[in-house]
Structure 1
């Protein structure tokens, strides 16, 4: 009886471990995936790097350092933040805010960049105090 119980318990544990290892392999994908609407979605990629590649050379020259120096946060865009943006469809939606330090010696010495949360597409620059 003990042997049967141990065998069943071992089998259940083995299947559980096998299922968990498959989930980890599927979740560690660094490739662009598609969601239901066909939009590109990035898994495990750094939003700073992807947005950095979309910036103009003048913007990159203005930043002190590179994409690794940006600080990412999520915010909800409101009307006051949108004056520098042409695309008003993001008003009231959650977006990434990436704060890059600039080479400017005066204050403010940073550049704010907004990016779409799902596609990491560059939306525009934000206002700086």
Structure 2
């Protein structure tokens, strides 16, 4: 009788530990989080590449006006509208999503930034944006 009770108690404890461990769920969640981290790394690399690639397309005068390097730019995505396109030569970008790179400038007055637009797909320099 003592052996049967000990066996049943051991079996219940093992089943309880196995149920609480959720070993299989953790492995799949880890795989998912690794995939998400890789996607986030790709996004960060891509945004950094946007800044660097657009920086290389700027004129020497524009680069001299910027306070710092391409690493100081901030990237965001916007949809260009008619009011934003006064300094953009190619009007076909109206209504399309593009990258906006905001570079700080050496200007002591406000606004002290330069906005640059780049094509979302080709990463080509489109033109400058208006600053407030």
TM-score normalised per structure 2: 0.66
Aligned Cα root-mean-square deviation (Å):
3.1
Measure how far apart 1:61 and its partner are.
0.1
Give unmatched runs, 5+ long, in structure 2: 1-34
Equivalent pairs, count: 117
Greater fraction helix: 2
Measure how far apart 1:66 and its partner are.
0.2
TM-score normalised per structure 1: 0.67
Tell me, what secondary structure is at the counterpart of 2:117?
Answer: strand
Greater fraction strand: 1
CA–CA distance in structure 1, aligned partners of residues 109 and 75 of structure 2: 22
1:7 maps to which residue? none
Tell me, what secondary structure is at the counterpart of 1:83?
Answer: coil
1:95 maps to which residue? 98
CA–CA distance in structure 2, aligned partners of residues 73 and 110 of structure 1: 15
What does 1:70-85 align with in structure 2 at a 5 Å threshold? 70-85=73-88
Give unmatched runs, 5+ long, in structure 1: 1-22, 31-42
Runs of 4 or more consecutive aligned structure 1 residues displaced over 6 Å after TM superposition:
none
Measure how far apart 1:113 and its partner are.
0.1
Measure how far apart 1:44 and its partner are.
7.0
CA–CA distance in structure 1, aligned partners of residues 95 and 78 of structure 2: 9
Measure how far apart 1:88 and its partner are.
0.2
1:127 paired with 2:130, answer yes
What does 1:1-129 align with in structure 2 at a 5 Å threshold? 45=45, 46=48, 47-129=50-132
